[in-house]
C-alpha cells in the first residue's frame, strides 16, 4: 500500500478524548476514529491488524475442534425472555421494536441464539460433543465507556460455545479453551494471567478471566507469588483472622457524639477498628422486588458488593437512600440490625465469630458496646462478604497477596445447564432418556485485545507492533533526492520485489520531509523500516531498522530483500519462542 493512497492520516496531537497512552497513539497513528461515546470506526491500519488477530483466533479455535458460524446481531426478545435475562439485564441491553411491533434486542452476547440453534439441531448423544464459534458485532450500552477500545459500547468479539453430554466433556472443552487462549495471547505478543472470576450475568458454576496487567486497568486482582493463587477482587478470598475467644458481655448503650464513621468511633472509644461492626446499606433487586439490605462486615474490612449480590441472589445493587434506611428504623451513621424491621440482613462470616463488637444503637450519637451475633440479632444470610485487599493473607498458603490492576481481554465460563434447561435444549442418551445439553461459553474482545497490545507495545515515539499482528510487517520509506529520479526508482523496484516475495509493505512514497516521514514511521510502529535515500544510495546501500531497537544497518540495495526477510524471520522466531504450555489452574 502506497501512503499516497492510504485513507487515514496521522495526527501531531491526540484529540482531547484520548485517555491512555495506547488510546492516544491509536488515534494519532490513524488507526481509529471516534464516532460517538464508546463507538469507533476502524480505519485501514486497524482493520488489517484486527484481521491478523482474527486469523490467530480462527487458527487456534479451529485447532481444538471449532466450527465457524455467523449468528445475527439483532435477536428476538422472546429468546431472552426464555432465559430470564430480558427481565434481569438493565439499560445495558438495547431494546427496540420492528415495524410489526415485535420486541427485538441488539445482542450483547449469543447464548440465547446458540440455545435456539441447539434445540433445533441437536437431538442425539451421537451429535455431541460440538464446538461452534463466530466473530461478530455486539452492543452493550455501557454508561461509562473509557480508554478508547478498552471499554466500548459496540465491539467485535470471538465467542465460542461448547456443547457436551456430560460435565466431564465440558471440563475437557473448558481446559482446551484455557490452553488455546494462552496460545492466542502469546502469539499476539501480549502477556496475560488467568484469574478466577465472578460468573456475573452469564451464570454457571465456574469462570476464569484472562487479564493483561496494567496500571490503567479497571479490575483489581489479588495475586499470591508464593503459591500462584489468583482471583479477581470480585471473588477473591483471603485467610481471615481467628478472633480471640471472649465471654459475651452485657449489651451497653453509650454516648458517642459525632462518631458517624468507623475511624471516628474507634478514636473516640480508644479501640481498634477490628472491634467494631460496619453496616453498609444497599438496595437490591431480588426475585420478589426491591429489598433494603443491611450488610455487616467488621470495621477494619470493606464490603465486597459482588460477593453480597451473589450471596443474596440479587440481580442489581445500588446504594440505599437515606429515606430507605430510615424506613426500616435505622439511623444513618449510627445503624445496627438491633431493633430494625423489614431489612434483609446479610452478615460476613467473621462477624459471627467475633464477640463483643461495637455497633450502632439506631439513635443519633449513641452506640452499643458488646454486640454479639446470635444473642442480640440474627441474619438472613451469613457468607463471605469481605473484600480482599493488598497485603491480606492468601487463602491457600497464608502468605501476603499483592493487588494489581488489569484489563480483561478474555473470559471462559462453565455455563452447565443454565441456558439449555431454560430453552429446552435436550438430547436423547443411549437409553433414550432426555437430558439437557451441557454448555460452555468463551469470549475474546478483538478491539480490546488490539487496544491492550497498543498499550503494551509503545515508546515515547509511537507504537511498536509485534510482527504477528502488525498491519504491515515492513514500512518502506522513500527519501527522494532533488532532481534525482534514482531513489524513487530504487524504492519502487524494492517495493515490487518485496510484494513479489509475499511481503506486505506500507510504502511511504509521499513528497514529505525526512523528519515527517521518520516521525510517522515511528508513530505507526511497523516492525521493520527500510529507508531508501540519496545519501546511502551513493554507496549503493539502503538502511534497515527494527522498530523495537535503536541500531540501524546498512546493506547493499540488491541485498535488501534477503536481509529484510532474515529480520522478519527473526521477529517471527521471537514470537514463536514465547508460545508455551501454561498449566491449567482451576
Write down the domain spans for the chain.
21-73+108-233+403-455, 252-383, 472-576
Q: What are phi and psi of 110, to 5 degrees?
A: -125, 25
User: With pLDDT > 90 as the criterion, what percentage of the chain qualifies?
Assistant: 89
Name the pairing type of β-strands 154-164 and 130-139.
Answer: antiparallel
Q: Are 557 and 494 in contact (CB under 8 A)?
A: yes
pLDDT at position 144: 87
- Architecture label for domain 472-576: 3-Layer(aba) Sandwich (3.40)
Whole-number Å distance between alpha carbons of 477 and 479: 7
Q: What are phi and psi of 94, to 5 degrees?
A: -85, 115
Q: Give bridge partners of residue 490 from the DSSP assignment.
A: none
pLDDT at position 90: 84
What 3-state DSSP class applies to 436? Answer: strand
pLDDT at position 200: 66
Q: If we measure between CA atoms, which residue out of 357, 351, 568 comes closest to residue 474?
A: 568
pLDDT at position 201: 57
pLDDT at position 203: 61
Residue 508 has pLDDT above 80, yes or no: yes
DSSP string covering 198-255, please? --GGG-SSEEEEEEEE-TT-SEEEEE-TTT--EEETTT-------PPP-PPPPPEEEE
Helix axes 446-456, 44-63, angle to 10 degrees: 110
pLDDT at position 586: 77
pLDDT tier at 100 (50, 70, 90 boundaries)? very high
In this predicted model, what pLDDT tens digit does every residue of 198-218 receive, in sequence order?
Answer: 776 556 678 899 999 998 888
Averaged pLDDT of the chain: 94
Name the pairing type of β-strands 103-106 and 74-76.
Answer: antiparallel
pLDDT at position 64: 98
pLDDT at position 486: 87
Residue 9 has pLDDT above 70, yes or no: yes
> Within its chain, how far is the Cα of 499 from the centroid?
37
pLDDT at position 107: 96
C-alpha cell at 546: 527494527
pLDDT, average across residues 352-358: 96
pLDDT at position 340: 93
Q: Are 313 and 203 in contact (CB under 8 A)?
A: no
pLDDT, average across residues 468-492: 93
pLDDT tier at 175 (50, 70, 90 boundaries)? very high
Q: What are phi and psi of 271, to 5 degrees?
A: -125, 160
Residues 6+ apart with CB under 8 A from 254: 366, 367, 368, 369
Whole-number Å distance between alpha carbons of 524 and 578: 24
Q: If we measure between CA atoms, which residue out of 26, 88, 72 comes closest to residue 314?
A: 88
pLDDT at position 83: 94
Angle at alpha carbon of residue 194, lines to 190 and 198, rounded to 5°: 130
User: With pLDDT > 70 as the criterion, what percentage of the chain qualifies?
Assistant: 99
Under CATH, which number does the domain 252-383 receive? 3.90.960.10
Judge: domain 21-73+108-233+403-455, CATH 3.30.930.10: yes
Residue 391 has pLDDT above 70, yes or no: yes
Q: Are 413 and 377 in contact (CB under 8 A)?
A: no
Positive or negative torsion for Cα 247, 251, 255, 258: positive
Q: If we measure between CA atoms, which residue out of 4, 3, 6, 34 comes closest to residue 19?
A: 34
Q: Grid coordinates 530504487 are at which residue? A: 490
Q: Give bridge partners of residue 71 from the DSSP assignment.
A: none
In this predicted model, what pLDDT tens digit does every residue of 330-350 receive, in sequence order?
Answer: 999 999 999 999 999 999 999
What is the total residue count of the chain? 586
Residue 557 gets which letter from DSSP?
G
In this predicted model, what pLDDT tens digit does every residue of 399-451 receive, in sequence order?
Answer: 999 999 999 999 999 999 999 999 999 999 999 999 999 999 999 999 999 99
Give the HSE-up count for residue 408: Cα atoms under 13 Å, Cβ half-sphere: 22
Q: Grid coordinates 529484510 are at which residue? A: 564
DSSP string covering 73-136, please? SEEEHHHHHHHTHHHH--TTS-EEE-TT--EEEE-S--HHHHHHHHHHH--BGGG-SEEEEEEE
Lowest mean per-residue pLDDT among 194-203, 391-400, 477-486: 194-203
Amino acid at each position: 500500500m502506497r501512503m499516497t493512497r492510504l485513507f487515514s492520516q496521522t495526527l501531531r496531537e491526540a484529540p482531547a478524548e484520548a485517555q491512555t497512552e495506547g488510546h492516544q497513539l491509536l488515534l494519532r497513528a490513524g488507526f481509529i476514529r471516534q464516532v460517538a461515546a464508546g463507538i469507533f470506526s476502524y480505519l485501514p491500519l486497524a482493520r488489517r491488524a484486527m484481521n491478523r488477530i482474527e486469523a490467530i483466533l480462527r487458527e487456534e479455535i479451529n485447532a481444538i475442534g471449532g466450527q465457524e458460524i455467523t449468528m445475527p446481531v439483532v435477536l428476538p426478545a422472546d429468546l431472552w425472555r426464555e432465559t430470564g435475562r430480558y427481565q434481569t439485564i438493565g439499560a445495558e441491553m438495547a431494546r427496540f421494536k420492528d415495524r410489526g411491533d415485535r420486541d427485538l434486542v441488539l445482542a450483547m452476547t449469543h447464548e440465547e441464539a446458540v440455545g435456539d440453534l441447539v434445540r433445533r439441531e441437536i437431538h442425539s448423544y451421537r451429535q455431541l460433543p460440538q464446538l461452534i464459534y463466530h466473530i461478530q458485532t455486539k452492543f452493550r450500552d455501557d454508561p461509562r465507556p473509557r480508554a478508547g477500545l478498552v471499554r466500548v459500547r459496540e465491539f467485535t468479539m470471538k465467542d465460542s460455545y461448547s456443547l457436551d453430554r456430560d460435565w466431564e466433556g465440558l471440563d475437557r472443552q473448558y481446559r482446551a479453551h484455557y490452553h488455546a487462549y494462552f496460545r492466542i495471547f502469546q502469539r499476539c505478543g501480549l502477556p496475560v494471567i488467568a484469574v478466577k472470576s465472578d460468573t456475573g450475568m452469564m451464570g454457571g458454576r465456574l469462570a476464569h478471566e484472562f487479564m493483561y496487567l496494567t496500571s490503567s486497568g479497571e479490575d483489581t486482582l489479588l495475586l499470591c507469588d508464593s503459591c500462584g493463587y489468583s482471583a479477581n477482587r470480585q471473588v477473591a478470598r483471603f485467610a481471615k483472622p481467628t478472633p480471640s475467644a471472649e465471654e459475651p458481655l452485657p449489651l451497653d448503650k453509650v454516648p458517642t457524639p459525632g462518631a458517624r464513621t468507623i475511624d471516628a468511633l474507634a478514636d473516640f472509644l480508644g479501640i481498634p477498628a477490628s472491634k467494631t461492626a460496619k453496616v453498609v446499606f444497599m438496595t437490591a433487586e431480588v426475585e420478589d422486588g426491591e429489598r433494603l439490605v443491611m450488610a455487616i462486615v467488621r470495621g477494619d474490612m470493606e464490603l465486597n458488593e459482588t460477593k453480597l449480590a451473589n450471596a443474596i441472589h440479587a440481580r442489581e445493587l445500588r446504594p440505599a437512600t437515606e429515606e430507605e434506611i430510615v424506613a426500616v428504623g435505622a439511623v444513618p451513621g449510627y445503624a445496627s440490625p438491633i431493633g430494625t424491621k423489614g431489612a434483609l440482613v446479610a452478615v460476613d462470616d467473621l462477624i459471627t465469630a467475633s464477640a463483643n463488637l461495637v455497633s450502632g444503637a439506631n439513635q443519633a450519637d449513641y452506640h452499643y458496646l458488646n454486640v454479639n451475633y446470635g444473642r442480640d440479632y440474627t441474619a438472613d444470610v451469613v457468607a463471605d462478604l469481605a473484600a480482599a485487599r493488598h497485603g491480606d493473607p492468601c487463602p491457600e498458603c497464608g502468605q501476603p497477596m499483592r493487588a494489581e490492576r488489569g484489563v480483561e481481554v478474555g473470559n471462559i465460563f462453565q455455563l452447565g445447564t443454565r441456558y439449555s434447561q431454560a430453552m429446552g435444549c435436550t438430547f436423547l442418551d443411549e437409553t433414550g432418556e432426555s437430558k439437557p445439553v451441557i454448555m460452555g461459553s468463551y469470549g475474546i474482545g478483538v478491539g480490546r485485545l488490539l487496544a491492550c497490545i497498543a498499550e503494551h507495545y509503545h515508546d515515547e515515539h509511537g507504537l511498536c507492533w509485534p510482527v504477528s499482528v502488525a498491519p504491515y510487517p515492513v514500512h518502506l520509506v522513500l527519501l527522494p533526492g532533488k532532481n534525482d529520479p534514482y531513489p524513487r526508482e530504487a524504492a519502487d523496484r524494492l517495493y515490487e520485489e518485496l510484494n513479489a516475495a509475499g511481503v506486505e509493505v506500507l510504502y511511504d512514497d509521499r513528497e514529505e520531509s525526512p523528519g515527517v516521514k521518520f516521525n510517522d514511521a515511528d508513530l505507526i510502529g511497523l516492525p521493520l523500516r527500510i529507508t531508501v535515500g540519496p545519501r546511502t544510495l551513493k554507496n549503493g546501500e539502503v538502511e534497515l531498522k527494527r522498530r523495537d531497537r535503536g541500531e540501524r544497518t546498512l546493506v547493499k540495495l540488491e541485498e535488501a530483500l534477503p536481509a529484510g526477510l532474515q529480520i522478519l524471520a527473526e521477529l517471527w522466531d521471537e514470537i514463536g519462542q514465547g508460545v508455551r504450555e501454561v498449566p491449567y489452574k482451576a
